[in-house]
DNA sequence: AGTTTCAAATGGAACGTTCCAAAGATTTTG
DNA sequence: CAAAATCTTTGGAACGTTCCATTTGAAACT
């Protein structure tokens, strides 16, 4: 283009007959510069194909326009959706997101935090890896990086979190099954070392308690949030002395596995066994039978998290309160009304 | 910590009784420093909780350790998978990926390119938005940023690309249908303004030609890669004078929609209509009937793309040649052998 | 002892911005 | 018309690294 190497602010200044300070002001859209001048500068910028050097700006400035996005598992569709929501908000705010996938590895998560600090991120949205401890955030805390947790909470971390209303969702789902007359309701999938599990389990127990149904530990089967796990969990739970007639599944994927296992056992989901899932993934609607599920607007949750960070950046260190996104029980055809219980009413 | 603000390389130097140059060398792992010295420096670094300032380094250095990742649609599961593959390779190589989702918007893609340039990225992996023209890459070209295209090609862009063997996959799928005796084979879904469509269509036509079956434009129905589109396309194609007995679907999602539409029309996919999809998404396996599909290892493709960029960074401007990832036809139960054609042999 | 060789450490000038204090214009006011 | 007030513009010192050219120190030769 011009001279050797890339054009800098000084080259622009020379060509436009102003000082580099003025050019800098123009670039920042300062109202201090006369329109006529800034117009001329802008023209030269165009002419020389100048590109702004953010590394230099970041060095001088206190804060960067970079925000880190630490994701536990990007291959989960609704997490990707959430990432998209976050990304969109940032893009509009002129924030550049650095993304890292930890694949649920704590070691990797630690490395990622380090990298984020080195990049001098202005803030951080973290979807914590399974088993994250409050102390894992220490480097961030000493680095003074505004941080928001999303999707999963880390109790004791003192960090604000943006999560779905897991407790409420599980409560609604379980209540729905109770209302259909079910009394033996299993809880399938998920691991107890995540806050999401704890919360959903709490909602489930609360609904049982409200419905006067005793909690039976034997009806809770932990496992990964996978199809296979749903399959296995159903098989396990059907062997109980008094088998359940319904299950609240930790996630839709678990529920889909459950559907298969029920069929394999000669039962008909929605006909003689009721299922409710969580997340309302696209597949739930298309399953046979269509799976009732607790819908979460993950994209909105992502946007909320992004706004939370923006707020923290703007308002300095003002502590942000946590937020629980609303959920909605979507009723499809995977449940049936149980007669004996019906007679009980 | 120490002093006011964050510790810098100079603080380390003072405390360790060496010069900042030495500290810099230690940070870069230079063999020029005596072990004893570097050990001491490292200790002080630990002590003061120093964090490296990459902005400063980037300013001084010619190249950054940042690589941009421009994604057309992160919510597509296999694209997310690909992103994970890329991210993993970069992480191991000490490269920090900046991710941006363009959501298939050309305007956004342009903005994203600009941002990437400002961040002074060392390289760029682009999954081009639909309808991207070669000229859209001009800013990158003049910026001298090594760029690799992934998943979709942009003919005329002169850029290396890492794509699936779309032509070969479509060829295999169509050949499979031909071998089962089908002669009227539809091509459903996708838009002709993408290279992926062009390539798959070419593979399909080639197989038809090889099998001595004339190409019939009426059997090609374009549409988005969505369930609904698959549904609509089947309905459209069943009204043709001589209806097809099989379809090659642009993607599995289209194929799943096709399954529904066939059922709705009183037909049985895998029984009296054959379907083959593309991508081999998880859902294909669990569909009723399980959908035959052309499998692509998207994660491997992502890793390949990442390695391509690493290679370009390392080898300077050495032009990289394009790569087509192998595909594999996975045969499930969505196809049947057609008798009349069978008699023809 | 003097010279050469090699390893290890260092000073200082970049890199391209931002931002402060201050100077120069221009307009308003008394 | 001078003084005051306001609007624009501008040097120059940071910011925290890297890297070149050099110096220093020690060991290995003549």
* CB of A100 closer than 8 Å to CB of A119: no
Say how many C-beta atoms besides its own lie within 10 A of residue A294's C-beta.
Answer: 29
List pLDDT tens digits, range B159-178. 999 999 999 999 999 999 99
Q: pLDDT confidence of B340, banded at 50, 70, 90?
A: low
C17 C1' to A252 CA distance, Å: 51
Q: Which residues of B touch A47 (CB under 8 A)?
A: none
Question: Stretch B201-229: mean pLDDT, rounded?
Answer: 97
The residue written with tokens 């019906």 in the block is A342
Question: For residue B248, what are its two tokens?
Answer: 């090659």
Q: What is the pLDDT of residue B46?
A: 95
Q: Chain B 229-268, CB below 8 Å of chain A: which residues?
A: 256, 260
Q: What is the pLDDT of residue A316?
A: 62
Closest among A210, A216, A206 to A184, alpha carbons compared: A216
Q: Which of A60, A78, A101 to mutate to test the interface with B (most CBs of B within 10 A)?
A: A101
- From the list B83, B91, B120, the residue facing A54 with the nearest CB is B120
Instruction: Please report the pLDDT score of residue B320 as a whole number.
Output: 75
- The verdict on a CB contact (< 8 Å) between A52 and B119 is no
Question: Which of B59, B64, B96 is facing A115, going by the closest CB pair?
Answer: B96
What distance in Å separates the CA atoms of residue B119 and residue B115, rounded to the nearest whole number? 6
Query: Among A102, A54, A67, A84, which residue's Cα sits nearest to residue B71?
Result: A84
Residues B62-78: tens digit of each pLDDT: 889 999 999 999 999 99
pLDDT band at B345 (very low <50, low <70, confident <90, very high): very low
Q: How far apart are CA A204 and CA A137, in angstroms?
A: 30
- Tokens read off for B277: 């999809």
Nearest to A96 by CA among B65, B72, B116: B116
User: What is the pLDDT averaged over residues A162-189?
Assistant: 98
Question: Has residue A344 got a pLDDT over 50?
Answer: no
CA distance, residue A343 to nearest chain B CA (Å): 37
Query: Does A291 lie at the interface with B, CB-CB under 8 angstroms?
Result: no
DSSP-derived secondary structure letter, B315: T
Secondary structure element (H or E) that encloses residue A191, with its range: none
List bases in chain D with any atom under 7 Å of a protein Cβ.
7-12, 14-21
Q: Is the CB of A261 under 7 A from strand D?
A: no
Instruction: Give, in degrees to the nearest 5, the angle at Cα B243 between B238 and B247.
Output: 75
Q: Which residues of B touch A69 (CB under 8 A)?
A: 99
d(Cα B240, Cα B230) in Å, to the nearest integer? 16
Which residues in chain A touch residue B107, judged by CB atoms under 8 angstroms apart? none
Question: Hunting for tokens 């806050």 — which residue is that?
Answer: A195
Query: Nearest 5°: CA angle at B104, between B98 and B108?
Result: 60
> Is A86 or A63 the better-scoring residue by pLDDT?
A86
SS (H, E, C) B251-292: CHHHHHHHHHHHHHCCCCECCCEEEEEEECCHHHHHCCCCCE
Residue A59 contacts strand D, CB under 7 A? yes
Q: Are B14 and B48 in contact (CB under 8 A)?
A: no
Whether B2 shows a pLDDT value over 80: the answer reads no
Neighbours of B247 (CB within 10 A): 32
| Proximity of residue A62 CB to strand D below 7 A | no
C-alpha radius of gyration, chain B, whole number: 26
- The reply to whether A92 touches chain B by the CB within 8 Å rule is no
Which of the four pLDDT bands, split at 50, 70 and 90, describes residue A343? very low
Instruction: Give the model confidence (pLDDT) of B282-296 as tens digits.
Output: 999 999 999 999 999
For chain A, what is the radius of gyration of the CA atoms?
26
Block residue for tokens 């390779």:
B89
Which of the pair, A4 or A213, is modelled with greater confidence?
A213
Q: A138: nearest CA in chain B?
A: B49
- A340 pLDDT more than 90: no
The answer to whether the CB of A188 falls within 8 A of the CB of A233 is yes
Length of chain B: 345
Beta carbons of A100 and B118 less than 8 Å apart:
no
Phi, psi dihedrals of residue A235, rounded to the nearest 5°: -60, -45
Measure B41 CA to D26 C1' (Å). Answer: 22
Instruction: Give me the DSSP letters along A118-158.
Output: HTT-SEEEE-PPTT--GGGGHHHHHHT--EEEESS--TTS-
B310 near A CB under 8 A: no
Say how many C-beta atoms besides its own lie within 10 A of residue B137's C-beta. Answer: 22
- At B318 the pLDDT is 61
Chain C positions with a protein C-beta closer than 7 Å: 7-12, 14-20
What's residue B201's pLDDT?
98
pLDDT over 90 (residue B255): yes
Gap between the Cα atoms of B260 and B266, Å rounded? 10
pLDDT for res A321: 83
CB-nearest partner of A84 from B98, B101, B118: B101
Which of B55, B104, B254 is the best mutation test for A, with the most CBs of A within 10 A?
B55
Sign of CA pseudo-dihedral B104, B108, B111, B117: negative
Residue B164 bridge partners (DSSP): B325
Nearest alpha-carbon partner for B300 in B86, B94, B153: B86
Question: Distance (Å) from CA B63 to C1' C15?
Answer: 12
- As a whole-number percent, the residues of chain A with pLDDT over 70 amount to 96
Residue B1 near chain A (CB below 8 Å): yes
Residues of A in contact with B84 (CB under 8 A): 74-75, 101, 103
Asked if B83 has any chain A CB less than 8 Å from its own CB, the reply is: yes
The percentage of residues in chain A with a pLDDT greater than 90, rounded to a whole number, is 90
Nucleotide C24 C1' to residue A57 CA (A): 28
| Beta carbons of A91 and B75 less than 8 Å apart | no
Q: Quick check: A74 and B87 CB within 8 A?
A: yes
CA B121 / C1′ D16 distance in Å: 20
pLDDT at B119: 92
Q: Which of A271, A189, A201 is nearest to A232 (CA)?
A: A189
Residues A293-310: pLDDT tens digits? 999 999 999 999 999 999
Residue B70, classed as helix, strand or coil, is strand
Q: What's the rounded mean pLDDT across residues B72-90? A: 95
Confidence tier at A317 by pLDDT (50, 70, 90): low
- Give one word for B49, left, alpha or beta, with left for phi > 0 and alpha for psi -120 to 50: left
Chain A interface includes B59 (CB < 8 A)? yes
Span of B33-37, B50-54, B317-321 with lowest mean pLDDT: B317-321
- CA separation for the pair A156, A137 (Å, rounded): 11
Residues contacting residue B251 through CB under 8 Å, at least 6 positions apart: B189, B190, B225, B277, B278, B279
Cβ atoms of residues B71 and B79 within 8 Å: yes
Residue-wise pLDDT for A211-267, tens only, equals 999 999 999 999 999 999 999 999 999 999 999 999 999 999 999 999 999 999 999
Considering all nucleic acid strands, name the nucleotide whose C1' atom is nearest to the C-alpha of residue B60. Answer: C15
CA angle A163, A329, B76 (to 5 degrees): 65
DSSP letters of B103-160? TT-HHHHHHHHHHHHHTT-SEEEE-PPTT--GGGGHHHHHHT--EEEESS--TTS--E
Confidence class for position A5, pLDDT limits 50, 70, 90 = confident
Pairs across A and B, CB distance < 8 A? 115
pLDDT for A319 equals: 65
Whether the pLDDT of residue B229 is over 60: the answer is: yes
Rounded Cα distance, A335 and A179, in Å:
11
Q: Choosing among A75, A95, A107, A230, which should be mutated to test the B contact, i.e. which has the most B CBs within 10 A? A: A75
């Amino acid at each position: 283009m011009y001279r050797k190497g890339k054009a800098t602010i000084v080259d622009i200044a020379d060509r436009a007959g102003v000082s580099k300070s003025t050019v800098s002001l123009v670039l920042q859209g300062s109202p201090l510069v006369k329109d006529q001048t800034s117009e001329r500068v802008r023209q030269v910028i165009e002419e020389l194909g100048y590109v702004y050097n953010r590394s230099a700006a970041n060095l001088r400035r206190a804060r960067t326009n970079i925000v880190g996005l630490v994701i536990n598992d990007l291959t989960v569709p609704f997490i990707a959706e959430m990432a998209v929501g976050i990304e969109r908000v940032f893009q509009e705010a002129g924030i550049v997101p650095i993304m890292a996938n930890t694949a649920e590895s704590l070691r990797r998560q630690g490395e990622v935090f380090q990298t984020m600090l080195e990049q001098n991120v202005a803030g951080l949205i973290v979807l914590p890896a399974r088993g994250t401890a409050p102390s894992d955030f220490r480097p961030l805390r000493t680095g003074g990086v505004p941080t928001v947790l999303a999707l999963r909470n880390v109790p004791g971390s003192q960090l604000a979190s943006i999560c779905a209303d897991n407790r409420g969702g599980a409560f609604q789902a379980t209540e729905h099954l109770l209302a259909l007359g079910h009394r033996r309701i299993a809880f399938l999938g998920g691991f107890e070392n995540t806050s999401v599990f704890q919360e959903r389990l709490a909602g489930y127990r609360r609904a049982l308690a409200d419905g006067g149904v005793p909690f039976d530990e034997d009806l809770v089967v932990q496992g990964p949030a996978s199809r296979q796990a749903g399959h296995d969990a159903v098989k396990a739970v059907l062997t109980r002395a008094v088998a359940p007639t319904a299950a609240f599944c930790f996630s839709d994927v678990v529920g889909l596995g459950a559907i298969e296992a029920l069929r394999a056992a000669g039962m008909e989901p929605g006909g003689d066994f009721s299922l409710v899932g969580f997340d309302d993934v696209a597949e739930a609607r298309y399953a046979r039978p269509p799976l009732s599920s607790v819908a979460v607007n993950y994209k909105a949750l992502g946007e909320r998290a992004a706004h939370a960070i923006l707020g923290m950046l703007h308002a300095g260190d003002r502590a942000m309160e946590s937020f629980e996104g609303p959920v909605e029980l979507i009723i499809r055809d995977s449940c049936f009304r149980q007669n004996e219980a019906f007679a009980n009413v």
